């Protein structure tokens, strides 16, 4: 006996038989109503085909219903959203900057201690590592005085390891210099990729080309 499946089928059949409506707001946004789900349908709501309703929600952001008036008859027409090149570039650049910012603080792999570990790279940890490495470079003696057992930095076995497995690892002067170098290399790599992707986006000549560039972004 499978009552759940039967219920799901009944709901699906009811939905397919119901009449869908859309209210096209003054700002161009759409509000939807269903004759089965909604007890009252607002005046001014326009009937839409079930196929158009499904297409809209299966491709969110790609379509919008607009008002069409033919022979004094007002209908709702499903229209593909067009994005200008400038709009696509602006959105892409903003997305790239956000993605890069996330990469900067996502973490960094280093074998500074002799074993590959995945370190935190949030701004606080970056500052701690940079300051310690500058001290180590300036005076290994002073570093040893301040950190006789080594400076501890938090890390885990790999990027895929659970955060609950993070531990504090002690680093000598040479090790903290190596870790700082690895972190700076990571930051520079992300920055270089960001610049390269930005150049491609700005060089694009169509919105479709921008979309292709963004779909291939890999950090």
Tens of pLDDT, residues 203-215 = 999 999 999 999 9
Domain that holds residue 182: 85-215
Question: Given this model, what pLDDT does residue 82 score?
Answer: 85
Residues 92 and 11 in one domain: no
The answer on 91 and 193 residing in a single domain is yes
pLDDT per residue over 20-69, tens digit each? Answer: 999 999 888 899 999 999 989 999 999 999 999 999 999 888 899 999 99
Span 82-91, mean pLDDT?
93
More confident: 18 or 103: 103
Are 11 and 65 within one domain? yes
Judge if 116 and 163 occupy the same domain: yes
Same domain, 74 and 109: no
By DSSP bridging, strand 151-156 and strand 73-80 are unpaired
Q: Are residues 66 and 103 in the same domain?
A: no
3-state SS, the chain, equals CCHHHHHHHHHHHHHHHCCEEEEECCCCCEEEEECCCCCCCCCCCEEECHHHHHHHHHCCCCEEEEEEEECCEEEEEEEECCCCHHHHHHHHHHHHHHHHHHHHCCCEEECCCCCCEEECCCHHHHHHHHHHHHHHHHCHHHHHHHCCCCEEEEEECCCCCCHHHCEEEEECHHHHHHHHHHHHHHHHHHHHHHHHHHHHHHHCCCHHHHHHHHHCCCC
State the total domains in the chain.
2
- Residue 213, number of CB atoms within 10 A of its CB: 18
Does the pLDDT of residue 3 top 50, yes or no? no
User: End of a domain among 80, 101, 126?
Assistant: 80
Q: What is the pLDDT of residue 213?
A: 97
What pLDDT is attached to residue 9?
Answer: 41
- The tokens describing 186, both together, are 């990571």
Which of 80, 98, 129 is the last residue in one of the domains? 80
Whether residue 66 sits in one domain with residue 17: yes
- 110 and 211, same domain (yes or no): yes
The span from the CA of 219 to the CA of 37, in Å, is 44
Strand order, beta sheet including 20-24: 30-34, 20-24, 46-48
pLDDT at 11 (0 to 100): 44
Domain match, 94 and 129 both: yes
- Residue 28's pLDDT is 82
Claim to verify: residue 98 and residue 63 sit in the same structural domain: no
Domain boundary among 48, 80, 112: 80
132 and 188 co-located in one domain: yes
64 and 148 co-located in one domain: no
- Mind listing the pLDDT tens digit for each residue in 168-216? 999 999 999 999 999 999 999 999 999 999 999 999 999 999 999 999 9
pTM: 0.68
* pLDDT of 81 above 90: no
- The rounded distance, in Å, linking the Cα atoms of 195 and 202 is 11
pLDDT at 173: 98
98-155 confidence digits (pLDDT tens): 999 999 999 999 999 999 999 999 999 999 999 999 999 999 999 999 999 999 999 9
């Amino acid at each position: 006996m499978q009552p759940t499946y039967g219920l799901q089928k009944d709901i699906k059949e009811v939905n397919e038989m119901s009449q869908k409506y859309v209210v096209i707001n003054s700002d161009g946004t759409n509000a939807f109503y269903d004759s089965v789900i909604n007890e009252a349908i607002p005046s001014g709501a326009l009937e839409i085909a079930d196929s158009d309703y499904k297409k809209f929600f299966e491709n969110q952001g790609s379509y919008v219903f607009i008002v069409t008036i033919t022979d004094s008859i007002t209908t709702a027409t499903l229209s593909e959203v067009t994005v200008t090149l400038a709009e696509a570039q602006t959105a892409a650049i903003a997305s790239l900057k956000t993605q890069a910012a996330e990469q900067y603080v996502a973490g960094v792999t280093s074998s500074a201690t002799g074993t590959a570990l995945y370190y935190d790279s949030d701004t606080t940890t970056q500052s701690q590592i940079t300051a310690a490495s500058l001290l180590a470079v300036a005076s290994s003696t002073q570093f040893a005085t301040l950190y006789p057992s080594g400076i501890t930095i938090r890390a885990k076995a790999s990027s895929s390891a659970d955060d609950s497995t993070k531990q504090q690892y002690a680093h000598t002067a040479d090790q903290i210099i190596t870790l700082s170098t690895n972190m700076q290399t990571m930051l520079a790599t992300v920055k270089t990729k960001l610049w390269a992707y930005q150049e491609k986006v700005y060089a694009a000549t169509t919105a479709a080309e921008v979309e292709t560039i963004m779909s291939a972004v890999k950090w």
